[in-house]
Amino acid sequence: MKEIFSYVKPYKWTALIAFCLMLVELFVELAQPLIMAKIIDNGVRAQNQGMIWQWGIVLLGLSFVAFIAGVVNSYFSSHTAQSFSYDLRNALFEKIQSFTLATYQKFSTASLITRLTNDVTQVQTVLFMSLRIMLRAPLAVVGSIVMAFVVNAKLALFLVIGAPIIFIFLIFMVAKGVSYFGLVQKRMDRLNRVLQENLQAIRLVKAYFRGAYEASRFDEVASRLKIDTVKALRTMEYIMPVLLFIMNMSLLAVLWFGTKQIATGTTPLGDVVAIINYAMRMTGSFSMFAFIIIFYARAKASAERMAEVLSTENDIELPSSSEKTSNGMSFGELAFDHVSFTYPGEDSPVLSDVSFRVKSGEKLAIMGATGAGKSTLLQLIPRFYDVTEGKIVVEGKDVQQWDLQELREIIGYVPQQSLLFTGSIADNVRWGDVEAEMDAVLHATMQAQIHASVEDFPNGYETRVGQKGVNLSGGQKQRLSIARALLRKGHILMLDDSTSALDVKTEQALWEALSEEQATMLVVTQKIRTARGADRILLIDAGKVVAYGTHEELLQTSALYKKIAISQQEVEE
């Protein structure tokens, strides 16, 4: 928890003010029994109205001070807790954004969402409650014991007889609580994962009429969450009865022996009343311990989960040198030199000894069966993953020697699954360059063959895109994604099977428009008619390069390529 609560440091002064105001409230709470003792002994028993009024006004004044301190404390406690959670949530989000794909895959998406929402809320609540009331409970117990000894040491001894038992019991329950609530948070992760999957695939669920099945699956994980939560809370419920039993036994002892001392005249009635008041305050504080331990246990479990994210190191190493290692390469050129790659945690390589070179401004088509390693090959260029063996050279420099931001700024990337964000169409295109003028946006959409479709929308470029582009067709999403990449004006343009939803005429117009681009293009495709327009074709099978050359060359030298061409009726058998 130390790492997580280090985010309180910028707000240490507001936290200190809140803590001091809480001490003022505690001082008033501990002073009240002494004042009541004075009123009883010096006022009521002595039949002195002046003393009753005098100490009564003091008691009223202290109560007003405590009230003001409580109101101001709430303000500073809330400010500290909310600012702390804001900084922590931003730090977690920035850390996740810095993850490489390999690091990101160590956590499930649902788990990361839970950590940024529920887990942050748990520690925020504990911080606020600690500054407001939670710290008062243990301090009130300690203070009540000290004040009881000040009033009457003999009677106060009965209040501390059960202290060792209570202390050991509380330590045991905290350990149990952390373990149980850690499991509850994991159950919450699973629940969020099922919910996320269902909502993302809602059309598929309805198309296959699987609502009842999904409901039963959700019911199963929700039931497990309920069972574990009930188990954790039920265990915590043992705290209050045990504490109250021990304290009530101590209170009975104080009453028993206090009555005898009053009868013998060795102890004033006011002292016994004060001791009983302190005992009652201790009992009330102990009853709050159950809630404190529940909150603390949940917060500790959440803090450990967030600390795991913050302390996770990326698998990609930053370059030790930015010197350019010239290979005689120029703008947009790249080369794979005996590259092999295996995903982290896997045994079988996805790519094996891949070598090829693409010159500046050339268009390379990458073909192969599903699972051959085409998309993986593209993802190695911007260093989403690091190669296992060999090296990739971009513009004369090993990608591992590039600054990551500089490397990715010269690459326009269109993923296999077109992803759009909630916002306007113009905003989505400007993802490629947030500072782009509208003229540049229009030029990019015209090249991507989507401008006319956008103009047909009632609000044109200000049309709102639903979540993940739900109100757009597959072809429209693909073309907007291409426009976004074109706006970037990168040296290298990578299209990962990004024209699969386009008709022949639209795709042909797209390639004609892209011919004016100076960028080097890498195009993953399954279509021979797309590949034949490229300068070179790279054919991959099971992670290995089986053919490399022009369309005509591969028809003559590669049986696999010829077989694909025949199956698509692009050549005669």
Q: Within a domain: residue 320?
A: no
CATH code for position 291: 1.20.1560.10
Domain count for the chain: 2
Which secondary structure element, helix H or strand E, spans residue 130, and what is its range?
none
Q: Do 57 and 197 lie in a common domain?
A: yes
Q: Do 511 and 545 lie in a common domain?
A: yes
Q: Within a domain: residue 324?
A: no
Q: Do 550 and 424 lie in a common domain?
A: yes
Give the C-alpha separation, 117 to 127, whole Å. Answer: 16
Q: Within a domain: residue 316?
A: no
Q: Do 246 and 385 lie in a common domain?
A: no
499 backbone dihedrals φ, ψ, rounded to 5°? -120, 15
The pTM for the full model equals: 0.71
- Three-state SS annotation for 486-541: HHCCCCEEEEECCCCCCCHHHHHHHHHHHCCCCCEEEEECCCHHHHCCCCEEEEEE
Q: Do 232 and 369 lie in a common domain?
A: no
Which secondary structure element, helix H or strand E, spans residue 446, and what is its range?
helix 438-447
Q: Which two tokens stand for residue 89?
A: 């949530």
- Residue 470 is predicted with a pLDDT of 67
Q: Do 208 and 348 lie in a common domain?
A: no
Q: Do 339 and 286 lie in a common domain?
A: no
Pick from 310, 345, 370: which residue ends a domain?
310
Q: Do 305 and 339 lie in a common domain?
A: no
Judge residue 572's burial from the number of C-beta atoms within 10 Å of its C-beta, 0-12 exposed, 13-18 middle, 19 or more buried. Answer: exposed
Give the C-alpha separation, 432 to 410, whole Å. Answer: 11
- Residue 13 is predicted with a pLDDT of 93
Q: What is the pLDDT along the chain (573 residues), one digit of tens a residue?
A: 678 888 889 999 999 999 899 888 878 877 777 777 777 767 776 677 777 788 788 888 888 988 898 899 899 999 999 999 999 999 999 888 888 777 887 887 878 888 888 889 888 988 888 888 777 777 777 777 777 777 777 777 777 776 677 778 777 877 777 778 778 878 887 888 888 778 767 767 777 677 888 888 888 888 888 888 888 878 777 777 777 787 777 777 777 777 777 777 676 777 777 777 777 777 777 667 667 777 777 788 788 888 888 888 876 656 654 454 444 457 889 999 999 999 887 888 999 999 999 998 899 999 988 888 888 999 999 888 888 999 999 988 898 888 888 888 889 888 888 888 878 888 888 888 888 888 888 988 898 888 888 888 888 888 888 666 667 788 888 888 889 888 888 899 999 888 887 888 888 888 888 888 888 999 998 888 888 888 899 999 888 999 899 888 888 888 888 888 888 775 555
- Three-state SS annotation for 232-298: HHHHHCCHHHHHHHHHHHHHHHHHHHHHHHHHHCCCCHHHHHHHHHHHHHHHHHHHHHHHHHHHHHH
- Residue 327 is predicted with a pLDDT of 47
Q: Do 497 and 441 lie in a common domain?
A: yes
Closest alpha carbon to 404 in 493, 347, 330, 319: 319
What lies within 8 Å, CB to CB, of 358 at 6+ separation is 333, 334, 335, 364, 520, 522, 536
What lies within 8 Å, CB to CB, of 9 at 6+ separation is none
* Residue-range definition of the domain harbouring residue 191: 2-310
